[in-house]
Amino acid sequence: MSDGFVLPRAGTEEDPVRLAVLISGGGSGLAALLRYQQTPRCHRTVLVLADKTDAGGLQHGRGAGIKSIGVPLPMHVEKAERRVTHEQLVDAELEAADVELVVLSGYMRILSPWFVRRWKGRLLNIHPSLLPDFPGAHAHRDALAAGATVTGCTVHLVDEGVDSGPILAQMEVEVRPEDDEGALQERVKVVEHVVYPDVLDRICSGLISL
């Protein structure tokens, strides 16, 4: 195992790996994962956590009977301390729910090295481009601006960088001449919703090693 990555244990249908899914928005990826988990798997979502109390995706978790909470930035805390205090609150929720693997699914906050090191190897992200191309918050816009003819999505283990860390899976999507940001995003999401559950199956059954 390299660079301090500690992967999750191998789960089973009887004793699935306990997932937290972290979101910021509508949570279509979360909804797809919850549909996938309607069949017993080696992983199960036990907590949905958003960085906003009104994140639309929280409804998907609640609808599935899963604890689903908003943990907003603590605005009463001084700015310099706000990020770390927020991450401590998030971390406390993860610990309280006995979470074993954290799944970032459209979570729009950059995590600090402190948080990453606590969960390293048990912290996954999906990014809507073929990394290392087009990291950052505007992957589709950047891909279109660069004239890319192929883009896609990447699932990777999170390290201390931004959209870096070992790549576990990628899937390509053609960029069409008529694509705008919204159209491209929707087509990439279709493949994201297949790739992420597949990677979770593999990592939660011990099939991934670094």
Task: List contacts with ligand GRF (CB under 6 A).
Answer: 23, 25-30, 57, 105-106, 126-128, 189, 192
Q: Is 127 among the catalytic positions?
A: yes
In angstroms, give the least distance from the CB of 143 to ligand GRF. Answer: 12
Nearer to ligand GRF, 122 or 187 (CB): 187
Residue 93 exposed, middle or buried by CB count within 10 Å (0-12, 13-18, 19+): middle
Handedness of CA 160, 161, 167, 170 (dihedral sign): positive
CA distances from 159 to 26, 64, 114, 185 (A): 25, 30, 11, 25
In angstroms, give the least distance from the CB of 128 to ligand GRF. Answer: 4
In angstroms, give the least distance from the CB of 27 to ligand GRF. Answer: 5
Nearer to ligand GRF, 30 or 158 (CB): 30
In angstroms, give the least distance from the CB of 173 to ligand GRF. Answer: 11
Marked catalytic residue, from 43, 60, 127, 193: 127
Neighbour tally for 25: CB within 10 Å: 17
Nearer to ligand GRF, 41 or 151 (CB): 151
Report which of 80, 99, 90 is spatially closest to residue 49, judged by C-alpha positions: 90
CA distances from 181 to 24, 97, 139, 157 (A): 19, 37, 9, 26
Nearer to ligand GRF, 23 or 46 (CB): 23
| H or E stretch covering 167 | strand 167-174
Residue number of the CB closest to ligand GRF reads: 106
Residues with catalytic function: 127
